[in-house]
C-alpha cells in the first residue's frame, strides 16, 4: 500500500540563506520552505534522495504564494545494479511537468498545492524549476517551494524503518509512517494522513498521536474490537480539529516572536499548553493508546459463535449481575501529563482539575445486561439510568457547566442538571418547573431580573425543541407559548428582547420542521404559524422575516419542503400587505432559491407559491424569473410556469399556437400540392403532351368565380376606360418580346392590391380561364396602378429582376440564379435570405431576424448596427441621402430614382463597385450596360426569392 516516503535534499543549484533547501526535509505549520537565490539563473535544480529504492506513486508540491515558478519538470533517477548508489552514477528519466498559476486571482495570498500521480521506480527525484511569474511582490525574480511530499512503495523489505524509535525521533516530527495493515484490501489506497496538507496544517505532536491512533484502529478492526475502533475514530476526528487549531496558535506565536511582541508570544504558549492538556484529559489519551497493555485478548476464539444456540448469553440469565473488576492502578502519566499546569489569568476562581485522570471502565469491560434491552420507542425509567442508584439526575459535566452557566445563575444547578439528564422525565420536569417559576414571578419584579429569566428560559426552550422525545418537545412549545403570550405582556418586556426570543427559537423550530417524525414536523410548522399571530409577536414581523430567509440548495429535502410549506402557510394567513412582513421581494427571493433545489418536492411547493403570487402581482413576479424566451422554455419547470402565466393572462399557450400554425401549414401545403398538380396538367396541355380538358378549364373558371374576394380579385376580360382601376388590359395573348400569339401566353395587370404578406399565395384568374399561381415572398405594399407582369417560367425563361434570358431558367434554375448570380439581389448577412439590394435597408430594419440590432440613420437612411450607431451619428461622416434619389446600401452613394436607376447602378459598367455580382453579369453579357426595354420589369418593394 502506498505510504509517505522519507527523503532528504542532497543537491540544490541555489538557495537563499534564510530559506535553505534543508527546510524541505520536514513538514510542519512552521516550515518556511526553500527559495532560490536572488536574480538566479533558470532553470534551478533540486535533487531528493529516498532512503531506499522505491516505486513512486504520487508527488505533491506546495508552491510559494508569490514566488511562483511557471513550470516544474520531474525526473526520476536510478542507479544501475553494477554501480555504487551515489548521485554521480544516477540515470534520470523524465516523467513530465506541471504548470503553476500566477495566483493573481487570489491576490497572491493562497498557496497552490499540485498533486501528480506517477508510476516510476528510482532512488532519486529531481525537480527542474523554470523561471518565475512576474508580479509586484517578487522583486528579486525568485522561485519558492514550501514543501515537497513523495508517496510510494518500498521495493525492498522495510527492516530499516520498523524501529519505533525511528518515528519518535524529534528530527522526524510528525513523520510517523503508517506501515500498518491493508484493512480495506485496496492496494492503491493512500491514507489521508500521508497527504501533504495533513502535516502542513497539523501540530507535529498531535499528528504523531493521530497516526498512532490510526494504527491502533486498524489493529482493532482486525481483532473485531469494533467499539474500541469507534472510540478511536471519534478521537481521531476530534484531534484533527485540535491539531489544526494548535498549528494556527504556533504560527501566531512565531509571528509574535518575530515582531518581538513577547507578551503575546507568552500568552499564546500558555494558551496552547492549557488547551493541549485539557484535550488530553477529556479524551483520556492514555486509555485510548492502551499504554499499559491491551484490554482485549489477542487470540479470539470464534468456535462458540458458530454453534446454533450461543450458550454464553444463556448462562448469564440465572446468574446475578457480573461484578465489576476492582479499580486498576492508574497508568503512568505520559510525557504530556507531566507538564506543569500554567496559572489561569481569568478573574473568576478556576475550577480545580483532578491531578490524575478519572477512573473510567473500558467499554469492552462493561458487563452484559441481565434483562433484555428495552423497546427503542420506550424511555427508561429514572431508576434504570446510568446513575440510577438514588434516582437523582447525573451531575453536569464541565462542558455542560460552561454551556449552561447563564441558566444555572437563574434557575440553579439542580434544575438545569435535570434539563441535561439522560432521562426524559427529568427533562420534562425541568421545563415544567421553569414554567411554574416564571408564572409565579410577580409583575413588580425588577425588569432586569425578568429579562434575565426570559433569556435563561429561551436557552432551555431551544434545547427542548431539539429533543427527540415528543413529550419534552411539547413541553418546550408549551413553555415558549406562555413566555410570548403571558410573560412578555405581564412584565412589559421590551420589543427588542421579544424579537431576540423569537429569532432564537425560530432557528430551532425551522430545523425541527424537517424531523423524520410526522407529528414533530406538523407541530413545529403549526406552532410557527400560531406564533406569527400572537399579539406581542405579530407587530414585529420577525416570524415572516426569519421564515423567508433564502435557504441553500444543500438543505435536506424534507427540511426544504417544510420551509416552503411554512412560507406558504404564512402567505395564505398574512398575505403580502405592507405590515405583514411578507412582500414580493423577500418571497420571490426565497422561492427562486427554492426552485434551484435538487428535490422535486421542494420545487413543487415553491412553484405553488409563485403561481399564487402571480395572481396578485404579475409583472413583479416575472422580474425575478428568467426572460420568457424559447431558451428558457426548454426547461420544463419554467415552461410550466410561463404556460400557467399565459393562462392567467388569457393568452393562448405556446402549445396551442404551435398546433394552430401546424394546422394552417398543413392546409396550405395541401392547397399548394393541388395547385401544383393542376398547373402540371396545364403545362402538359400547353406542350401538347395532353389534350385540352375543357371540363378542367370550366371547373377552374367556376371555382374562381365562386372564390371569396379576400383571396383574389376576379378580373373580367372586358375593355374599360383608362381611369378604371379595376380594368384588365387584354394583350391578346401576344408575347411582348417576339410577338408570337398563343393561347397559353397569358398574363394579367394587377391593380389596386394593397398588402401582400410574406409567403402568401397570389391567385390570378387569367383570360381564357388558364389558372396559374406564383409564390411571391416578402412583398409589402403595391401602389395603385402598379403593373406586375406574372410570366410562366417555362414559356419565357427570364429573370424578372435583372431581365436575363436563359433556357436553363426552369423553376430550379431560377432559384439557383437568384441565390448566386442575379446582380439585383444579395444574401442578408444575418438571416441568409436573398433580398433585393434596393430594399436591403428596409429588410434589416423591419423583416430580418436581427432587426432589433439595427437602427436607422436619419442622415443617410441606412441600417446601422446599434453597437456602432452612436459613433456613426456623432461623426457625421456618412453620405447624406437625397429625397429625389435612391441610396445604395452597398457603396453608400445616391442612385437615380426609379427602377432604371437601380439597374444602371447595380448592373452597368460604371455601376456599384461594391456589388460582386455586377462583374459576373457583365462577363456573361458584355453588350449589356444598362436596362433593356424588351425585358419585363419587376416593381414593388422587397421582393424575396427562395433561399
User: Model confidence over 98-131: pLDDT tens digits?
Assistant: 999 998 888 888 889 999 999 999 999 999 999 9
- 138: pLDDT confidence band, cut at 50, 70 and 90? very high
| d(C-alpha 308, C-alpha 325), whole Å | 31
pLDDT value for 164: 37
pLDDT value for 21: 92
- 927: its cell numbers: 453588350
Mean pLDDT of all residues in 821-850: 88
| d(C-alpha 122, C-alpha 52), whole Å | 9
Best-predicted range by mean pLDDT among 222-226, 304-308, 759-763?
222-226
Per-residue DSSP letter, 851: G
**602-646 per-position pLDDT tens digit:** 889 988 999 888 888 888 888 888 888 888 888 888 888 888 888
Evaluate the CA torsion angle 367, 371, 376, 378 in order and state its sign.
negative
Residues in Cβ contact with 243 at an 8 Å cutoff, skipping those fewer than 6 apart: 201, 202, 203, 206, 207, 210
| d(C-alpha 396, C-alpha 219), whole Å | 35
pLDDT value for 901: 86
From residue 589, alpha-carbon distances to 218, 243, 555, 592, 614 in Å are 49, 40, 16, 5, 14
Helix (H) or strand (E) holding 78: strand 71-78
Please, is 491 exposed, middle or buried when counting C-beta atoms within 10 Å of its C-beta (0-12, 13-18, 19+)?
Answer: buried
pLDDT value for 780: 37
Average pLDDT, rounded, for the chain = 75
| d(C-alpha 507, C-alpha 667), whole Å | 63
CB-CB neighbours of 731 under 10 Å = 16
- 741: its cell numbers: 400569339
Query: Do residues 70 and 171 make contact, with C-beta atoms less than 8 angstroms apart?
Result: no
pLDDT value for 336: 35
Please, is 271 exposed, middle or buried when counting C-beta atoms within 10 Å of its C-beta (0-12, 13-18, 19+)?
Answer: middle
Helix (H) or strand (E) holding 104: none
**401-460 per-position pLDDT tens digit:** 888 888 998 998 889 999 999 888 899 999 999 999 999 998 888 888 999 999 999 999
CA end-to-end distance (rounded Å), the chain: 68
| d(C-alpha 412, C-alpha 613), whole Å | 50
DSSP of 240-307: HHHHHHHHHHHHHHHHHHHTT-HHHHHHHHHHHHHHHHHHHHHHTHHHHHTTT--SS-SS---TGGGS
Label residues 304-321 b or e (16+ Cβ within 10 Å = b).
eeeeeeeeeeeeeeeeee
Higher pLDDT, 198 or 188: 198
Share of the chain above pLDDT 70, in %: 71
Angle between helices 557-574 and 600-614 (to 10 degrees): 20
**Cross-strand partners of 114:** 61
- 16: pLDDT confidence band, cut at 50, 70 and 90? very high
Higher pLDDT, 230 or 808: 230
| d(C-alpha 393, C-alpha 379), whole Å | 15
Q: Which domains does the chain have, with CATH numbers?
A: 3-156 (2.60.120.260), 201-290 (no CATH), 405-654 (1.25.10.10), 797-921 (no CATH)
pLDDT value for 305: 35
| d(C-alpha 907, C-alpha 903), whole Å | 5
Distance of CA 637 to the CA centre of its chain: 17
CA angle in degrees (0–180, nearest 5) for 541-546-547: 100
- 392: its cell numbers: 437523582
- 563: its cell numbers: 420551509
| d(C-alpha 470, C-alpha 264), whole Å | 50
Mean pLDDT of all residues in 39-65: 93
- 229: its cell numbers: 475502533
Q: Is the pLDDT of residue 225 over 80?
A: yes
**462-518 per-position pLDDT tens digit:** 999 999 899 999 999 999 999 999 999 999 999 999 999 999 999 899 999 988 888
pLDDT value for 638: 85
Q: Is the pLDDT of residue 76 over 80?
A: yes
Nearest one of 742, 678, 749 to 715, comparing CA atoms: 749
pLDDT value for 631: 86
pTM: predicted TM-score of the whole model, two decimal places:
0.37
**901-927 per-position pLDDT tens digit:** 888 888 888 888 888 888 777 777 665
Mean pLDDT of all residues in 751-780: 35
Higher pLDDT, 631 or 689: 631
| d(C-alpha 216, C-alpha 232), whole Å | 8
- 652: pLDDT confidence band, cut at 50, 70 and 90? confident
Query: Do residues 143 and 68 make contact, with C-beta atoms less than 8 angstroms apart?
Result: yes
Q: Is the pLDDT of residue 93 over 80?
A: yes
Q: Report the 3 state secondary structure along 84-100.
A: CCCHHHCEEEEEEEEEC
Amino acid at each position: 500500500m502506498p505510504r509517505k516516503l522519507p527523503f532528504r535534499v542532497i543537491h540544490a543549484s541555489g538557495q537563499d540563506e534564510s530559506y535553505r533547501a534543508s527546510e524541505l526535509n520536514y513538514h510542519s505549520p512552521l516550515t518556511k520552505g526553500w527559495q532560490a537565490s536572488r536574480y538566479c539563473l533558470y532553470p534551478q535544480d533540486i535533487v531528493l534522495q529516498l532512503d531506499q529504492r522505491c516505486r513512486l506513486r504520487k508527488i505533491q508540491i506546495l508552491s510559494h504564494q508569490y514566488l511562483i515558478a511557471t513550470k516544474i519538470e520531474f525526473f526520476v533517477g536510478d542507479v544501475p545494479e553494477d554501480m555504487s548508489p551515489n548521485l554521480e552514477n544516477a540515470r534520470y528519466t523524465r516523467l513530465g511537468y506541471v504548470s503553476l498559476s500566477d495566483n493573481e486571482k487570489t491576490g497572491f495570498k493562497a498557496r497552490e498545492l499540485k498533486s501528480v500521480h506517477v508510476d516510476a521506480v528510482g532512488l532519486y527525484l529531481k525537480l527542474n524549476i523554470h523561471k518565475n511569474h512576474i508580479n509586484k511582490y517578487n522583486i528579486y525574480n525568485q522561485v519558492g517551494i514550501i514543501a515537497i511530499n513523495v508517496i510510494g512503495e518500498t521495493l525492498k523489505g522495510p527492516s530499516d524503518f520498523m524501529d519505533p524509535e525511528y518515528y519518535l525521533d524529534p528530527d522526524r516530527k510528525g513523520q510517523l509512517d503508517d506501515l500498518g495493515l491493508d484493512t480495506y484490501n485496496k492496494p492503491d489506497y493512500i491514507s489521508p494522513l500521508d497527504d501533504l496538507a495533513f502535516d502542513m496544517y497539523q501540530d507535529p505532536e498531535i499528528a504523531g498521536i493521530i497516526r498512532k491512533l490510526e494504527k491502533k484502529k486498524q489493529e482493532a478492526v482486525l481483532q473485531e474490537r469494533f467499539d474500541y475502533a469507534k472510540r478511536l475514530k471519534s478521537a481521531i476526528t476530534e484531534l484533527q480539529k485540535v491539531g489544526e487549531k494548535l498549528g494556527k496558535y504556533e504560527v501566531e506565536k512565531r509571528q509574535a516572536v518575530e515582531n518581538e511582541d513577547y507578551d503575546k508570544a507568552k500568552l499564546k504558549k500558555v494558551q496552547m499548553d492549557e488547551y493541549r492538556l485539557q484535550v488530553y484529559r477529556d479524551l483520556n489519551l492514555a486509555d485510548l493508546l492502551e499504554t499499559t497493555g491491551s484490554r482485549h485478548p489477542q487470540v479470539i476464539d470464534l468456535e462458540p459463535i458458530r454453534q446454533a444456540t450461543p450458550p454464553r448469553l444463556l448462562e448469564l440469565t440465572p446468574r446475578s449481575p457480573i461484578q465489576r473488576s476492582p479499580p486498576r492502578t492508574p497508568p503512568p502519566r505520559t510525557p504530556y501529563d507531566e507538564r506543569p499546569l500554567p496559572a489561569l489569568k481569568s478573574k473568576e476562581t478556576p475550577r480545580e482539575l483532578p491531578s490524575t485522570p478519572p477512573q473510567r471502565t473500558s467499554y469492552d469491560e462493561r458487563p452484559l445486561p441481565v434483562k433484555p434491552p428495552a423497546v427503542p420507542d420506550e424511555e427508561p425509567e429514572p431508576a434504570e439510568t446510568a446513575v440510577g442508584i438514588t434516582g437523582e439526575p447525573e451531575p453536569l459535566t464541565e462542558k455542560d457547566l460552561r454551556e449552561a452557566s447563564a441558566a444555572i445563575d437563574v434557575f440553579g444547578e439542580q434544575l438545569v442538571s435535570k434539563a441535561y439528564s439522560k432521562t426524559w422525565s427529568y427533562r420534562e420536569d425541568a421545563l415544567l418547573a421553569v414554567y411554574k417559576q416564571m408564572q409565579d414571578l410577580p409583575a413588580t419584579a425588577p425588569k432586569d431580573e425578568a429579562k434575565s429569566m426570559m433569556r435563561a428560559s429561551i436557552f432551555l426552550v431551544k434545547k427542548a425543541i431539539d429533543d427527540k422525545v415528543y413529550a419534552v418537545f411539547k413541553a418546550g412549545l408549551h413553555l415558549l407559548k406562555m413566555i410570548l403570550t403571558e410573560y412578555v405582556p405581564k412584565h412589559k418586556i421590551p420589543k427588542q428582547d421579544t424579537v431576540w426570543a423569537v429569532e432564537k427559537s425560530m432557528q430551532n423550530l425551522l430545523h425541527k420542521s424537517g424531523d423524520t417524525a410526522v407529528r414533530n414536523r406538523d407541530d413545529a410548522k403549526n406552532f410557527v404559524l400560531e406564533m406569527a399571530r400572537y399579539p406581542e409577536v405579530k407587530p414585529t414581523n420577525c416570524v415572516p422575516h426569519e421564515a423567508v430567509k433564502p435557504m441553500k440548495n444543500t438543505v435536506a429535502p424534507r427540511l426544504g419542503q417544510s420551509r416552503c410549506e411554512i412560507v406558504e402557510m404564512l402567505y395564505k394567513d398574512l398575505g403580502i400587505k405592507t405590515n405583514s412582513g411578507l412582500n414580493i421581494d423577500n418571497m420571490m427571493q426565497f422561492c427562486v432559491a427554492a426552485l434551484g433545489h435538487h428535490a422535486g418536492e421542494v420545487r413543487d411547493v415553491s412553484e405553488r407559491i409563485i403561481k399564487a403570487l402571480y395572481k396578485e402581482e404579475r409583472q413583479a413576479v416575472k422580474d425575478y424569473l428568467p426572460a420568457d424566451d424559447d431558451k428558457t422554455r426548454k426547461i420544463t419547470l419554467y415552461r410550466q410556469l410561463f404556460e400557467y402565466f399565459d393562462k392567467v393572462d388569457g393568452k393562448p399557450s405556446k402549445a396551442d399556437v404551435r398546433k394552430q400554425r401546424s394546422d394552417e401549414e398543413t392546409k396550405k401545403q395541401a392547397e399548394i400540392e393541388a395547385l401544383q398538380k393542376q398547373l402540371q396538367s396545364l403545362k402538359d396541355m400547353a406542350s401538347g403532351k395532353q389534350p385540352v380538358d375543357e371540363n378542367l378549364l370550366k371547373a377552374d373558371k367556376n371555382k374562381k368565380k365562386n372564390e371569396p374576394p379576400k383571396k383574389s380579385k376576379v378580373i373580367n376580360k372586358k375593355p374599360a376606360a383608362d381611369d378604371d382601376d379595376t380594368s384588365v388590359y387584354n394583350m391578346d395573348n401576344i408575347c411582348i418580346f417576339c410577338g408570337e400569339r398563343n393561347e397559353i401566353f397569358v398574363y394579367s395587370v394587377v391593380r389596386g392590391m394593397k398588402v401582400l404578406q410574406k409567403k402568401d399565395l397570389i391567385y390570378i384568374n387569367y383570360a381564357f380561364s388558364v389558372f396559374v399561381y406564383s409564390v411571391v415572398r416578402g412583398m409589402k405594399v403595391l401602389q395603385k396602378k402598379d403593373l406586375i407582369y406574372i410570366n410562366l417560367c417555362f414559356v419565357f425563361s427570364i429573370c424578372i429582376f435583372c431581365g436575363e434570358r436563359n433556357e436553363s431558367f426552369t423553376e430550379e434554375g431560377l432559384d439557383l440564379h437568384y441565390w448566386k448570380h442575379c446582380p439585383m439581389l444579395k444574401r442578408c448577412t444575418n438571416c441568409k435570405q436573398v433580398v433585393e439590394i434596393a430594399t436591403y435597408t428596409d429588410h434589416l430594419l423591419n423583416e430580418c431576424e436581427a432587426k432589433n440590432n439595427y437602427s436607422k440613420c436619419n442622415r443617410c437612411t441606412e441600417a446601422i448596427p446599434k453597437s456602432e450607431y452612436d459613433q456613426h451619428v456623432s461623426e457625421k461622416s456618412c453620405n447624406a441621402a437625397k429625397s429625389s434619389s435612391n441610396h445604395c446600401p452597398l457603396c453608400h452613394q445616391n442612385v437615380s430614382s426609379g427602377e432604371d436607376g437601380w439597374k444602371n447602378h447595380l448592373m452597368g459598367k460604371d455601376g456599384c463597385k461594391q456589388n460582386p455580382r455586377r462583374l459576373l453579369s457583365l462577363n456573361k453579357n458584355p453588350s449589356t450596360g444598362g436596362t433593356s426595354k424588351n425585358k419585363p420589369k419587376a416593381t414593388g418593394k422587397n421582393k424575396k426569392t427562395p433561399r
